């Protein structure tokens, strides 16, 4: 291989912009007086970060396509779309930060940019080593911003829990990767794919696949690897939770879909019947069913908004796993549409919860009571997010479900397990409506508590929340916009 | 004709307008809503005058929407949908008139009300199953808020129950449609394409798909035993929402059964025909008997709606041209009559006497206190019983005659239902409106003046007269609507399930 560093640099301009932005955030914070009020330092840091993301957006949109640097990176439809999605979701998260008083704003925002860098690399990585490094860059950054943003003890608990689970998952992933290297003799996905299709499956490869799936389940908060999610969503500063729930999930799905389908498709087993040799599809199907059932039923019992969002996230991870199973036949378009619009709604929901918390406690669902009186804007956007999560048309969440479920049903119709899972997911969406309506009822119908005043949202937060709601509505009315990226 | 999609757009724009106007004053929101409802109804009526009946759906708009799945933004109309569009306009206009007294968050109320109406218009115009589904859900969500926020008795329970039943029903529909689309390798969600795709499935799959789609829609149509959301929802809802719920929204379910479920799989229909008919008959008689026992006047009407919708389902299940035509006519007729009954009980009586319990009403001579309300209720009751001269008569008659030709036993049981309907209606009229002061009470001696109630307002009178006029016109000239409906029953899709060429 003749290393083409110019092409590599060219392809990595968005990541470069993010890293330079992170350094500029830190540098600027050093340069101005650090004894200034936190709010002011936060404002400067946010401006620099926003410029960096905007600067990254242009090359991510117009940049080169195809294989880069041998086959270390691949910039195909999925990678380009995911990189854009990560940038948009991170940008929206910056707006959420404005409403959340974080302790060390410059460091917090810089680490968040590093996390975004890792997520962007995950989207494009096509080599096991780079995939692992990108995943770890993102994960370590996310552990940090779970812990440092807030002085609350449950933030520290959340960070520790996330770190311990994450470390375990990383160990599994690395062990799995090393077994795959041992079996196939390569860390490049195209070579691995070719090797597996020649060799067929063998027990060591299956062990390796299970280990990869463990890490996958952890990264996207799928049951039974979800145990960290409720505590992290509850304890972490809201912007961190928003990023973990949205961009991190999107990039996780992109990375593992790439590993599973182009990489290990020869070891997938049959999607229609699961007959014809063991593979990873049956395992994904089990995780999918577990996530759907556990997420939806556990969410029914929640009283804390953030824990509710966590269990809803687990349920949605189950639905997205259906999209992963269908990606081999229908392409990653439906999955990406689902994951990205889900991310928009989640960032928005966390943003509203954070903004309400500026003026009063916002932990229980009942703390949202009467939001329509306290801030019509927040109430309207929250309604859009929650109804989109519930899958009510014409919001984007509905079309995500529609496309993923119909793609899953096309895998051998209802005769196959994928079809049954799709029917299960549709049935459970009626269950899910109940807990989503509980939230919307508090927001729009219940009377506000006697001692509560209006909620004032910072302009940047309003902008981000408005943009997220508008995107959910527009992408719902014109779903072809995102699907067009995949054609 | 080309203007018909504007019923949807106008109503949505009107929803935004009344939301904005509501910030200024409640009166502005009311007038904006009334203007919108009348304008959209006018569009539907205008299209009706220019409508040339044909057997096929007449396309109004057809654009690619989600090309990857073959979903199209396809609006079309035939005689069946036009009938229901006119009904929607009428019910919406009357609903606005009967909510003239909403003072709390008036703008929001009318915005949600009109969003619901827009969704209903959209459903009746859709010629693509996914588009149909989208509009269907757009109509479901506002119902929840209308009931939970502006409703009365046990409103949060009623609203949640209604929303969950509706959504569970629509989830079944979605599952069935996607199943056909995916397993039958359809290229679009057009009704004919879906029917073709369904025909390629094995028989037992067709039976299952038909059950999912039909019973999903029938939930919203109030089919026994999936009807329990309807009485609680109707009772909890504010008057205008009850009128729309019983008047139009339950029709969405029946319309879905007729437009999507039936043509989807004639094989599945043949399997389920008898169970559906008996469920419909049980619904007619059972709900009628329950209505006979109710003490709350609104529950009487809630259960009577279930009973009357049973006739619609019976007409569809019998699947003769005459019975299906009668079913569509019954949808129209019941939409008006149920609206009228709910308007009298929920608005004219309850808002003045603050009771709907028959025990209380027996102790006041409403026919003297509110003569207008009593008159309207008697007229609506007569229409509801199916007396000649009102729309209920030709509708139930053609359902029963059409059913008799194919399945005499069903028609016999259905006729029993008509008797039960007469019984509970007469009981409601007699006990609710022709009570008398308890002997010896102060009121009896002081006369009505001691207990004078606020007079019936102009909007109420206008709304009531509008609905009474409609039921009389259709009762005397059912051919006005049947001339639209019958050609539509000759479409190839429906002919696959409907017996008998010309009615």
Same domain, A223 and A370: no
Paired with A188 in beta bridges are: A127
The β-bridge relationship of strands B58-66 and B71-77 is: antiparallel
Residues A187 and A321 in one domain: no
pLDDT at residue A175 above 50?
yes
Confidence of residue B447 (pLDDT cuts 50, 70, 90): low
- State the ipTM, two decimals: 0.91
Per-residue pLDDT band at B241 (split at 50, 70, 90)? confident
Indicate the residue among A176, A209, A244 that finishes a domain. A244
For chain B, report the end-to-end CA distance as a whole number of angstroms: 26
Work out the average pLDDT over B439-462: 68
pLDDT in tens, A369-425: 888 888 999 999 999 999 999 999 889 999 999 999 989 988 876 667 888 899 999
Calpha distance B159→B143 (Å, rounded): 8
* Max avg pLDDT among A358-362, B173-177, B239-243, B244-248: B173-177
pLDDT at B448 over 60: no
Query: What count of other Cβ atoms lies within 10 Å of the Cβ of residue B70?
Result: 17
Query: With 90 as the cut, is the pLDDT of residue B362 above it?
Result: no
**Co-location of A232 and A310 in the same domain:** no
* Closest chain B residue to the Cα of A392, Cα to Cα: B137
Report the pLDDT averaged over residues B91-112: 88
- Check if the beta carbon of residue B498 is closer than 8 Å to that of residue B403: no
Domain extents in chain B: 6-495
- The answer to the question of residue A260 being in a domain is no
Report chain B residues whose CB lies below 8 A from the CB of A445: 145, 148-149, 156
pLDDT score recorded for residue B57: 85
Q: What is the pLDDT of residue A62?
A: 86
Domain residue limits at A140: 1-244
A66 pairs with which residues across the strands?
A75
In a domain, A255, yes or no: no
CB A85 within 8 A of CB A340: yes
Under 8 Å between Cβ of B437 and B363 = yes
Confidence of residue B354 (pLDDT cuts 50, 70, 90): confident
* pLDDT score of B320 more than 80: yes
Which one-letter DSSP state was computed for residue B346? I
Report how far residue A152's alpha carbon sits from residue A240's, in angstroms, rounded to the nearest whole number: 14
Contacts of B288 (CB under 8 A, 6+ apart): B303, B304, B307, B417, B420, B421, B423, B424
Predicted pLDDT of residue B503: 39
* CB–CB contact A409 B130 (8 Å): no
Interface contact flag, A480 B68, Cβ < 8 Å? yes
Cα of B16 to nearest chain A Cα, Å: 13
Which residues in chain B are closer than 8 Å to A394, comparing Cβ atoms?
134, 138
Could you give phi then psi for residue B61, rounded to 5 degrees? -145, 140
Q: Quick one: CA dihedral A199, A203, A208, A209, positive or negative?
A: positive
Residue A276: per-residue pLDDT = 57
> Is A219:A174 a contact under the CB 8 Å cutoff?
no
Going by pLDDT thresholds of 50, 70 and 90, the confidence category of residue B501 is very low
B87 to chain A, minimum CA–CA distance in Å?
25
Q: With 80 as the cut, is the pLDDT of residue B439 above it?
A: no
CA atoms within 13 A on the CB side of B173: 30
pLDDT for A103: 82
Q: Look at residue B294 and give its three-state secondary structure.
A: coil
Q: What is the pLDDT of residues A314-355, one digit of tens each?
A: 999 999 999 999 888 888 999 999 999 999 999 999 999 999
For chain A, the distance separating the N- and C-terminal CA atoms, rounded to the nearest angstrom, is 30
B229 vs A244, B221, B234, B299, B342, CA distance in Å? 40, 10, 8, 12, 17
CA A260/CA A277 separation, integer angstroms: 16
- The reply to whether A290 and A232 lie within a common domain is no
Q: Is the pLDDT of residue B332 over 90?
A: yes
The structure tokens 């196939």 sit at A184
Helix/strand/coil (H, E, C) string of chain A? CCCCHHHHHHHCHHHHHHHHHHHHHHHHHHHCCCCCCHHHHHHHHHHHHHHHHHHHHHHHHHCCCEEECCCCEEECHHHHHHHHHHHHHHHHHHHHHHHCCCCCHHHHHHHHHHHHHHHHHHHHECEHHHHHHHHHHHHHHHHHHHHHCCCCHHHHHHHHHHHHHHHHHHHHHHHHHHHHHHHHCCCEHHHHHHHHHHHCCCHHHHHHHHHHHHHHHHHCCCCCCCCHHHHHHHHCCHHHHHHHHCHHHHHHHHHHHHHHHHHCHHHCCCCCCCCCCCCHHHHHHHHHHHHHHHHHHHHHCCCEHHHHHHHHHHHHHHHHHHHHHHHHHHCCHHHHHHHHHHHHHHHHHHHHHHHHHHHCCCCEHHHHCCHHHHCHHHHHHHHHHHHHHHCCCCCHHHHHHHHHHHHHHCCCHHHCHHHHHHHHHHHHHHHHHHHHHHHHHHHHCCCCCCCCCCCCCCHHHHHHHHHHHHHHHHHHHCCHHHHHHHC
What percent of chain B lies above the pLDDT cut of 90?
42
pLDDT for B491 equals 85
Q: Identify any residues that bridge with B190 across adjacent strands, giving them in sequence order.
A: B128
Interior CA angle at B495 toward B493 and B500, to 5°? 170
Q: Give B113 to chain A, closest Cα distance, Å.
A: 15
Model confidence at B445: pLDDT above 60:
no
> Is B16 an interface residue toward A (CB < 8 Å)?
no
Other CB atoms within 10 Å distance of the CB of residue B371: 12
**Per-residue pLDDT averaged across B104-133, rounded?**
92
Instruction: Supply B368's token pair.
Output: 């003297």
Chain A residue numbers touching B64 (CB-CB < 8 A): 480
Identify whether residues A234 and A272 lie together within a single domain.
no
pLDDT one-digit tens code per residue, A119-134: 999 999 999 999 999 9
Cα separation of B311 and B414, whole Å? 8
| Of the partner residues A333, A410, A444, the one whose CB lies closest to the CB of residue B68 | A333
Residue B390, SS3 per DSSP: coil
Q: What is the pLDDT of residue A55?
A: 94
One domain for residues A17 and A166: yes
Task: State the CB neighbour count (10 A cutoff) for residue A311.
Answer: 27
Domain match, A288 and A324 both:
yes
Do B179 and A403 make contact, defined as CB atoms within 8 angstroms? no
Contact check, Cβ <8 Å, A480/B205: no
Question: Which pair of structure tokens corresponds to residue A400?
Answer: 């995500």
Residue A17 has pLDDT above 90, yes or no: yes
Token digits of residue A341: 């619009």
Q: What is the pLDDT of residue B387?
A: 87
Residue of chain B minimizing CA distance to A446: B149
Q: Are residues A310 and A198 both part of a single domain?
A: no
pLDDT of residue B348: 85
Is the predicted pLDDT of residue A277 greater than 90, yes or no? no
The alpha carbon of A487 is separated from its chain's Cα centroid by a whole number of angstroms, namely 23
Residue A262 within any structural domain of the chain? no
DSSP one-letter string for B239-293: HHHHHHIIIIIHHHHHHHIIIIIHHH-HHHHHHHHHHHHHHHHHHHHHHHHHHHH
Q: Of the ranges A390-404, A454-468, B365-379, which one carries the lowest mean pLDDT score?
A: B365-379
Q: Tell me, what DSSP letter sits at residue B66?
A: E
Chain B residues with CB under 8 Å of A326 CB are none
Q: Are residues A309 and A431 in the same domain?
A: yes
Half-sphere exposure of B131 (CA within 13 A, CB side): 27
> Minimal Cα–Cα distance from A431 to chain B, Å?
8
Q: Is residue A259 part of a domain?
A: no
Q: Could you tell me which residue, B247 or B288, shows the higher pLDDT?
A: B288
Instruction: Report pLDDT for A378.
Output: 93
> In a 10 Å sphere around its CB, with 0-12 CB exposed, 13-18 middle and 19+ buried, how is residue B169 labelled?
buried
User: CA torsion B93→B99→B103→B108, rounded to 10°?
Assistant: -50
Domain identity same for A274 and A207: no
Note which residues in 172-231 of chain B have CB less than 8 A from chain A: 174-175, 178-179, 181-183, 205
Whether the CB-CB separation of B188 and B263 falls below 8 Å is answered with: no
Residue A97 CA: distances (Å) to CA of A33, A36, B270: 21, 18, 60
A29 contact partners, CB below 8 Å, separation of at least 6: A41, A44, A45, A105, A106, A107
Residues A183 and A287 in one domain: no
A29 and A94 part of one domain: yes
- Specify the residue for token string 């060390």: A104
Token duo for residue B441: 């009470």
Q: Cα B469 from chain centroid?
A: 18
Give the pLDDT band (50/70/90) at residue B240: confident
Q: Which residues of A touch B66 (CB under 8 A)?
A: 399, 403, 479-480, 483
Q: Is the dihedral of CA B152, B158, B159, B162 positive or negative?
A: negative
Among chain B residues, CA nearest to A403: B69
Q: What is the pLDDT of residue B444?
A: 55
* Number of compact structural domains in chain A: 2
């Amino acid at each position: 291989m003749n290393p083409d560093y110019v092409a590599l640099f060219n392809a990595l301009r968005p990541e470069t912009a993010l890293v330079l932005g992170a350094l500029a955030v830190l540098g600027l914070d050093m340069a101005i007086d650090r004894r200034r009020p936190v709010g002011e330092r936060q404002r400067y840091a946010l401006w620099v970060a926003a410029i960096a993301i905007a600067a990254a957006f242009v090359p991510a949109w117009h940049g080169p396509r195809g294989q880069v640097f041998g086959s270390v990176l691949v910039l195909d439809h999925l990678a380009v779309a995911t990189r854009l999605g990560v940038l948009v979701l991170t940008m929206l998260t910056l707006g959420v930060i404005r409403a959340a008083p974080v302790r060390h704003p410059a460091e917090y925002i810089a680490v968040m940019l590093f996390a975004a860098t890792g997520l962007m690399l995950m989207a494009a990585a096509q080599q096991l080593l780079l995939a692992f490094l990108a995943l770890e860059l993102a994960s370590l950054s996310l552990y940090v911003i779970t812990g440092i943003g807030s002085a609350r003890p449950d933030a520290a608990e959340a960070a520790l829990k996330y770190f311990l689970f994450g470390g375990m998952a990383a160990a599994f992933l690395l062990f799995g990767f090393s077994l795959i290297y041992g079996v196939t003799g390569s860390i490049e996905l195209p070579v691995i794919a070719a090797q597996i299709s020649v060799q067929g499956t063998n027990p060591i490869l299956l062990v390796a696949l299970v280990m990869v799936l463990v890490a996958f389940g952890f990264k996207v908060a799928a049951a039974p690897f979800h145990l960290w999610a409720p505590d992290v969503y509850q304890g972490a500063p809201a912007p961190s939770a928003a990023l973990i729930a949205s961009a991190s999930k999107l990039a996780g799905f992109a990375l593992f879909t790439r590993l599973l389908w182009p990489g290990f498709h020869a070891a997938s087993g049959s999607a229609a019947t699961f007959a014809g040799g063991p593979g990873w599809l049956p395992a994904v199907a089990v995780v999918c069913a577990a996530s759907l059932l556990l997420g939806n039923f556990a969410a029914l019992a929640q009283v804390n908004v953030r824990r509710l969002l966590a269990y809803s996230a687990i349920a949605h991870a189950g639905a997205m796993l259906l999209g992963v199973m269908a990606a081999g036949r229908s392409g990653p378009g439906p999955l990406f549409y689902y994951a990205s619009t889900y991310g928009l709604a989640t960032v928005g929901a966390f943003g509203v919860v954070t903004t309400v918390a500026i003026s009063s406690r916002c932990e229980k669902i009942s703390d949202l009571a009467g939001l329509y009186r306290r801030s019509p804007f927040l109430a309207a956007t929250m309604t859009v997010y929650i109804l989109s999560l519930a899958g009510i048309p014409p919001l984007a969440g509905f079309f995500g479900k529609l496309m993923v479920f119909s793609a899953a049903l096309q895998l051998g119709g209802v005769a196959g397990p994928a079809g049954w899972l799709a029917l299960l997911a549709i049935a459970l969406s009626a269950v899910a409506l109940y807990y989503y309506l509980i939230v919307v009822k508090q927001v729009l119908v219940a009377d506000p508590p006697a001692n509560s005043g209006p909620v004032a949202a910072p302009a940047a937060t309003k902008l981000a929340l408005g943009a997220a709601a508008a995107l959910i509505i527009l992408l719902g009315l014109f779903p072809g916009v995102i699907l067009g990226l995949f054609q | 004709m080309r203007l018909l999609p504007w019923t949807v757009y106008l109503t949505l724009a009107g929803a935004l307008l009344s939301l904005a106007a509501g910030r200024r004053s409640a009166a502005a929101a009311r007038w904006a809503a009334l203007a919108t409802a009348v304008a959209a109804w006018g569009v539907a009526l205008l299209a009706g005058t220019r409508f040339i009946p044909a057997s096929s759906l007449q396309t109004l708009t057809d654009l690619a929407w989600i090309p990857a799945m073959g979903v199209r933004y396809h609006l079309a109309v035939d005689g069946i949908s036009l009938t229901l569009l006119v009904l929607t306009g009428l019910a919406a206009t009357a609903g606005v008139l009967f909510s003239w007294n909403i003072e709390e968050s008036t703008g929001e109320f009318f915005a949600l009300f009109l969003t619901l109406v827009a969704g209903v218009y959209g459903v009746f115009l859709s010629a693509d199953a996914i588009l149909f589904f989208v509009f269907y859900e757009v109509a479901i969500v506002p119902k929840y808020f209308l009931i939970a926020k502006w409703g009365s008795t046990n409103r949060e329970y009623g609203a949640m129950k209604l929303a969950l039943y509706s959504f569970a029903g629509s989830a079944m529909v979605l599952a069935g449609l996607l199943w056909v689309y995916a397993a039958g390798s359809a290229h679009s969600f057009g009704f004919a394409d879906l029917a073709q795709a369904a025909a390629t499935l094995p028989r037992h799959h067709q039976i299952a798909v038909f059950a999912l789609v039909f019973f999903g829609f029938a939930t919203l149509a109030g089919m026994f035993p999936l009807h329990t959301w309807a009485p609680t929802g109707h009772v909890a809802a504010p008057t205008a929402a009850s009128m729309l719920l019983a008047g139009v929204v339950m029709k969405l379910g029946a319309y879905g059964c007729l437009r999507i479920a039936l043509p989807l799989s004639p094989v599945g229909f043949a399997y389920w025909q008898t169970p559906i008919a008996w469920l419909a008959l049980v619904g007619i008689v059972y709900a009628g008997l329950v209505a006979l026992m109710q003490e709350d006047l609104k529950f009487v009407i809630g259960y009577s709606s279930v009973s009357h919708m049973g006739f619609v389902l019976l007409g569809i299940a019998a699947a003769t041209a005459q019975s299906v035509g009668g079913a569509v006519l019954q949808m129209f007729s019941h939409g008006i009559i149920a609206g009228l009954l709910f308007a009298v009980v929920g608005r004219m009586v309850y808002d003045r006497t603050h009771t709907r319990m028959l025990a209380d009403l027996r102790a006041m001579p409403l026919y003297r206190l509110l003569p207008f309300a009593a008159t309207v209720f008697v007229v609506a009751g007569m229409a509801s019983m199916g007396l000649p001269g009102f729309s209920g008569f030709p509708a139930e008659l053609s359902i029963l005659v059409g059913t008799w030709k194919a399945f005499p036993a069903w028609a016999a049981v259905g006729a029993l239902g008509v008797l039960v309907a007469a019984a509970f209606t007469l009981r409601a009229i007699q006990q609710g409106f022709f009570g008398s002061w308890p002997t010896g009470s102060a009121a009896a001696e002081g006369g009505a003046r001691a207990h004078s109630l606020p007079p019936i307002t102009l909007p109420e009178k206008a709304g009531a007269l509008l609905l009474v006029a409609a039921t009389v016109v259709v009762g005397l000239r059912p051919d006005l609507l049947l001339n639209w409906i019958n050609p539509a029953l000759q479409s190839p899709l429906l002919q696959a399930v409907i017996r008998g060429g010309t009615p």
